[in-house]
Structure 1
């Protein structure tokens, strides 16, 4: 069976070999053509209400880095927008590229951003668990936030400062007292459409809420950072010779690129990119508030 990933031999072009739904009618991500979106006056403002105490762990699953939240009760929820009822926060994770030109999954009028944050929720009013909800057409709600190159984001440092502890696939660490609202832009205006998970099993169960305003992130600011990402054996040597006070100023996106998609007993391989290209719209409507 295909061990899916983002390399040439197991990347998105091959996922349909094991997951036929990859060719389905509501696959994600998409290229949002702004002139073709439809204004819908019935769409309400978004209302994220997150409890920092619900954050539990940060982990590297080999495909991305994610922060997991306690979703046993309605501590952290998303309501409003295109949603009917309450959607409970499950996790946040990131997608990025090997350079700053592309890394987001969604595109806007053909333009890709450097990275993309996904805030994943499930319909806790209708379903008893995330696993059950993920198989229903209205089971999940994912809020997407674009990251564009600019000033370093001090809120994002709360995550990137911990990435050294989970660099190897399978590693996890405690991660508490974190409110993902700190990573949202000032404006919560959005586009919305019906889509799917962007990673296998690609289930068509997601109500997508793509925020129109990006947040900033800083990228590599010295040549050695690119070496860290491309040559792990040399990069780590150079990295730890640099004072910790300087490392934070040098990287944000580069720290994501230095994560490993391999476990301790495997040859080290950096996760330089982890995004799926835009999929055909196939007649779906993209609405905006």
Structure 2
């Protein structure tokens, strides 16, 4: 399934995708004092030991790393999920400046970047595309990035290979375990894809603890382009959707505030 940046800016997506005004749209602003602690939420279990990354690509709206998607060895489980969800890809959102870039916000505060680890319900659905359109099809782990030194040099050093839209390069043996914070406390809610087609098929699991990235590493994301080679160069920045109304949804927390 082609999950892309869509036509025009996010504020115009409703013209092509009426679901943009739906009741379970993402991202949202997480107001920590209004999140409800739910003791029935299980600890989140992330099993990335057998991860096999395949390639890194510029899909015209972000940089994405795809994974071998053939078995249930690379999964998340527990948390708010009924069963295991298999890792498909991860991608980032970032801004032009440090004060903005993340899609989710916490108490109206934005982070410089946000990582999305996208998983699908392979036990119930035959393909990722089928799962992406189903209410319980996807589970996305969102992780905030704050500016400090982080050892993800292998990843940011590969970005030059996918500067232009539509470019792809081999990127093997990268295990995203190194992108996880030590503390897996999380907020969770029912939501949607944050890019068209905006399907309301996502169980969001947003980790409270950020991970770290240096300003120099963040600058490498900003060298990417929304455009193909030969086209007018448009810098890939501010590729995030602003927070959407909660419309009565409850954000649950796995921890006491």
Aligned to 2:77: 79
Match of 2:231 among 255, 266, 275: 266
TM-score, normalised relative to structure 1: 0.85
Helix, strand or coil: the match of 2:209? coil
- The 2-side partners of 1:51 and 1:15 are apart by 38
Query: Displacement of 1:53 after TM fit?
Result: 4.6
Q: Pairwise CA RMSD of aligned residues? A: 1.3
Aligned to 1:92: 90
Aligned to 1:140: 138
- The 1-side partners of 2:248 and 2:128 are apart by 28
Deviation per residue, 1:126-168 (Å, 9 max, x gap): 1111111111111000000000112x211x2121000011111
- The 2-side partners of 1:131 and 1:179 are apart by 24
1:173 aligns with 2:173: no
Q: Is the 8 A contact 1:139 1:206 kept in 2?
A: yes
Helix, strand or coil: the match of 2:140? strand
Query: Displacement of 1:75 after TM fit?
Result: 2.8
Aligned to 1:248: none
Q: Is the 8 A contact 1:52 1:176 kept in 2?
A: no
Aligned to 2:220: 255
Rg (Cα) greater in structure:
1
Q: Is the 8 A contact 1:26 1:282 kept in 2?
A: yes
Task: Give 5+ residue unaligned stretches, structure 2.
Answer: none
Helix, strand or coil: the match of 2:155? helix
Deviation per residue, 1:21-68 (Å, 9 max, x gap): 000000000000111111111111111111455210000011000100
Q: Is the 8 A contact 2:5 2:195 kept in 1?
A: no
- The 1-side partners of 2:56 and 2:50 are apart by 14
Query: Displacement of 1:109 after TM fit?
Result: 0.5
**Distance 1:44-1:53 versus aligned 2 partners, 3 A rule:** closer
Higher-helix-fraction structure: 1
Aligned to 1:17: 15
**Distance 1:53-1:286 versus aligned 2 partners, 3 A rule:** closer
Task: Give 5+ residue unaligned stretches, structure 1.
Answer: 220-250
Q: Is the 8 A contact 1:53 1:176 kept in 2?
A: no
Aligned to 2:250: 285
Aligned to 2:199: 203
Superposition misfits of 4+ residues, deviation over 4 angstroms? none
Helix, strand or coil: the match of 1:89? strand
Query: Displacement of 1:72 after TM fit?
Result: 2.1
Aligned to 1:119: 117
Aligned to 1:129: 127
- The 1-side partners of 2:156 and 2:81 are apart by 31
Q: Is the 8 A contact 2:5 2:196 kept in 1?
A: no
TM-score, normalised relative to structure 2: 0.95
Q: How many residues align?
A: 251
- The 1-side partners of 2:175 and 2:40 are apart by 28
